[in-house]
Amino acid sequence: MHRLLSLLLLLFPLSIFSQEITLNRVEPPFWWTGFKNTSLQLLVHGNNISSTNVSVNYPGFVLKKVNKVENPNYLFLDLSVGNSAQPGIATILFKQGNKVVGKYLYELKARKKGSASRASFSSHDVIYLVMPDRFSNGDTANDNLPGMVEQVDRTNKDGRHGGDLKGIMDHLDYVQDLGITALWINPLQENNMSKYSYHGYSITDYYKIDPRFGSNEDYLKLSDAVHKRGMKLIKDMVFNHCGSNHWWMQDLPSRDWVNQWPEFTRTNYRAGTFTDPYASQADSNMFVRGWFDITMPDLNQANPYVKNYLIQNSIWWVEYAGLDGIRQDTHPYPFKEMMAEWGKRLQEEYPNFNVVGECWLNYPASVAYWQQGAKNKDGYNSWLPTVFDFPLYDALGKAFSEPEGWNTGIVRLYEILAQDFSYPDPNNIVVFADNHDVNRFLDSQKDDVRKLKMAMAYILTTRGIPEIYYGTEILMTTGADKSGDGNKRRDFPGGWSSDSQNAFTAQGRTNAENDIHNYIRKLVRWRDASEVIHTGKFRHFIPADGVYVYFRYNEKSTVMVVMNNNEESKTIETKRYNEFLKKFKSGVEIISGNSLNDLSKLTIPAKSVIIIELK
Ligand code: CA
């Protein structure tokens, strides 16, 4: 990606320039013509670079302002990429007096046709979440690389295991066969950290895919391959913090580039301080300015250069890799005004673009605050289209394992959805049973597969956008010690050539694994083809005797879902559901394929869900 720069340094060895001046980086490394917002701010880093005079001579690409900051090794160049600017290569000259001391060939690329009007992920999709280090090692040659401090060690649950983009590429058939239509991959940018570099949330270079996953070009190839299959690619982004080995941590542009404290100060992780009308200033301040971890410096998005850097970086990836969506990490932790500005800017350039923010809060009202268009008392509009349904995740974990009661058991699902009035757009919420940050769903269910099936049937038929965490379809658990992030992110069996099992194939899976795999595959593929589940209305009935009934319906079709949370089979009279059932005489149960010719009574096996397409 810094090819032009490297080439230039080769052509003009630094020795011919003034001793004091170097040109190390220009970011974004290239840009495009034809954006609605014509402004571009370049971060320029190099020894004493601020002592130079900068000029750009290119039609329509105009240098508006040169900004200096505390550190003389930086310049921030405000440029305009006007409507008249044609794709091509502009020369940015850095001079002392009449002497050229640095030169950067800045490419303005043409945007792909249809770039602005791209579609994005939606309730039509089923998302599959992959932790790239733990899915498949497609290229062992990139496992250990010079310059990358952490080496592969599969015996360490918190170490790098060697998975990569090639591994994902190699198993797109598997993912697509499951019916998946969108891939969310945990962050892929360089994490050159000495420990825990595998998870990707300690970025050390925002413009570069970690070479142990592959190159930027490999990411493009993956994007193309995903798109050729009619699938979508969602990129995980992290604005709140970087990794402590990020290159700029050695030479910060200004002291306020990151939020600094007299001593290490951890965030209180209470995202609710943002919405809490009674929150103290001390708590709010610590939430937003405290560091997520010792190795994760907290970026100060209130600094306008940091803000522009992050916004441009996200647009750069969308445009470069043809992204279909973004998942934003720790969404409430950065300064929220900046996050709103980011969301607005994205929508300005890509009006149909979807972004899901990780707003990890336990109450629907708190999560709803963050969804775009919420009527918040403080007037805040997040410009964030989508949120994760953490309250529903929490309810799912409990609903099938508790005794039925007024507030316990299956009624939890009913009560959470009953609070959908809080959300501006309840159908644009990501629903999930687990993800990379929590114990796997089966762990909370004492490995009872019936309950996993219930959860999968639920997330695949309720409102919103379902997300399935890799390995859930083959009964992956956190393992024997049931703790630690590393165990939540175990290797997919068969992803490594030395694995004794290959769960990517039916032959390689156990009977139990094939049973759940087939169950999920059948439901996902049925959902893919069921518009009524994507966009149909939702209506439910108060659970009675541990049985919860809801309908999805539109003009053309109606689907009835019946969940039996009892330890015994239940036969129910259906008179109570006549407002839907009176129009129908029969139905087909999706999982068994059985025809039902008498809808007056229904029998649902213990701890299971039936899904009936009504005829
Ligand atoms: Ca590898």
pLDDT 10s digits, 147-181:
999 999 999 999 999 999 999 999 999 999 999 99
Angstrom distance (rounded) from CA 352 to CA 328? 17
Is 358 one of the catalytic residues? yes
- Residue 19: pLDDT band with limits 50, 70, 90: low
User: Tens digit of pLDDT for each residue in 343-352?
Assistant: 999 999 999 9
Whether 14 is covered by a domain: the verdict is yes
Q: If you average pLDDT over every residue of the chain, what do you get? A: 95
Residue 18 has pLDDT above 90, yes or no: no
pTM, two decimals, is 0.95
Q: Tell me how far the alpha carbon of residue 493 lies from the centroid of ligand 1, in angstroms.
A: 15
Of all residues in the chain, what percent are helix, strand and coil, respectively (each to 5)?
30, 25, 45
Whether 71 is covered by a domain: the verdict is yes
Whether 591 is covered by a domain: the verdict is yes
CATH of the domain at 104: 2.60.40.10
Angstrom distance (rounded) from CA 355 to CA 327? 6
Angstrom distance (rounded) from CA 284 to CA 332? 11
Q: Tell me how far the alpha carbon of residue 166 lies from the centroid of ligand 1, in angstroms.
A: 8
Whether 379 is covered by a domain: the verdict is no
Q: Tell me how far the alpha carbon of residue 208 lies from the centroid of ligand 1, in angstroms.
A: 16
Q: How far is CA 214 from CA 162, 168, 210, 316, 559, in A?
A: 11, 11, 6, 18, 44
Residue 17 has pLDDT above 60, yes or no: no
Give the pLDDT confidence score for residue 12 in this predicted structure: 41
Q: How many domains does the chain have?
A: 2
Domain holding 42, by residue range, is 9-110
- Residue 274: pLDDT band with limits 50, 70, 90: confident
- Token pair in block for residue 469: 């965490």
Q: Tell me how far the alpha carbon of residue 155 lies from the centroid of ligand 1, in angstroms.
A: 15
Q: Tell me how far the alpha carbon of residue 212 lies from the centroid of ligand 1, in angstroms.
A: 6
Give the pLDDT confidence score for residue 127 in this predicted structure: 99
- Residue 484: pLDDT band with limits 50, 70, 90: confident
Beta strands (DSSP E) in 14-165 are 25-27, 30-32, 39-45, 53-56, 61-68, 74-81, 88-96, 99-109, 127-130
Q: Tell me how far the alpha carbon of residue 229 lies from the centroid of ligand 1, in angstroms.
A: 24
Closest CA to 481 of 439, 441, 511: 439
When mean pLDDT is compared across 450-459, 476-485, 564-573, the lowest value belongs to 476-485
Q: What is the mean pLDDT of residues 570-583?
A: 97
Q: Tell me how far the alpha carbon of residue 523 lies from the centroid of ligand 1, in angstroms.
A: 32
Q: Which of 27, 236, 358, 443 is an active site residue?
A: 358
Give the pLDDT confidence score for residue 9 in this predicted structure: 41
DSSP secondary structure letter of residue 110: P
Residue 142 has pLDDT above 90, yes or no: yes
Q: Can you tell me which residue has the tokens 């439901």? A: 523
Q: Which of 329, 425, 473, 491 is an active site residue?
A: 329
Residue 511 has pLDDT above 80, yes or no: yes
Q: Tell me how far the alpha carbon of residue 139 lies from the centroid of ligand 1, in angstroms.
A: 4
Query: What is the number of alpha carbons within 13 Å of residue 145 lying toward its C-beta?
Result: 18
Final residue belonging to a domain, choices 55, 86, 110: 110
SS3 328: strand
Q: What is the mean pLDDT of residues 229-235?
A: 98
Residue 39 has pLDDT above 70, yes or no: yes
List the strands of the sheet with 74-81, edge to edge. 25-27, 39-45, 74-81, 61-68
Q: In this structure, which amino acid lies at residue 49? A: I
Q: Tell me how far the alpha carbon of residue 494 lies from the centroid of ligand 1, in angstroms.
A: 14
Contacts of 324 (CB under 8 A, 6+ apart): 118, 119, 120, 121, 182, 232, 233, 234, 354
Whether 175 is covered by a domain: the verdict is no
Whether 187 is covered by a domain: the verdict is no
Whether 333 is covered by a domain: the verdict is no
CATH of the domain at 587: 2.60.40.1180
Closest CA to 89 of 19, 150, 26: 26
Final residue belonging to a domain, choices 76, 110, 144: 110
Angstrom distance (rounded) from CA 181 to CA 175? 9
- Residue 407: pLDDT band with limits 50, 70, 90: very high
Is 329 one of the catalytic residues? yes
- Token pair in block for residue 468: 């399935």
Q: Tell me how far the alpha carbon of residue 234 lies from the centroid of ligand 1, in angstroms.
A: 21
Q: What is the mean pLDDT of residues 50-71?
A: 98
Q: Tell me how far the alpha carbon of residue 486 lies from the centroid of ligand 1, in angstroms.
A: 18
Q: What is the 3-state secondary structure (H, E, C) of 421-483?
A: HHCCCCCCEEEECCCCCCCCHHHHHCCCHHHHHHHHHHHCCCCCEEEEECCHHHCCCCCCCCC
Q: Tell me how far the alpha carbon of residue 214 lies from the centroid of ligand 1, in angstroms.
A: 8
Whether 582 is covered by a domain: the verdict is yes
Give the pLDDT confidence score for residue 14 in this predicted structure: 42
- Token pair in block for residue 364: 């629907």
Final residue belonging to a domain, choices 110, 135, 163: 110
Angstrom distance (rounded) from CA 256 to CA 264? 15
Q: Tell me how far the alpha carbon of residue 133 lies from the centroid of ligand 1, in angstroms.
A: 8
Q: Tell me how far the alpha carbon of residue 574 lies from the centroid of ligand 1, in angstroms.
A: 55
Give the pLDDT confidence score for residue 481 in this predicted structure: 76
The answer to whether 407 and 454 have CB atoms below 8 angstroms apart is no
Give the pLDDT confidence score for residue 479 in this predicted structure: 85
Give the pLDDT confidence score for residue 13 in this predicted structure: 40
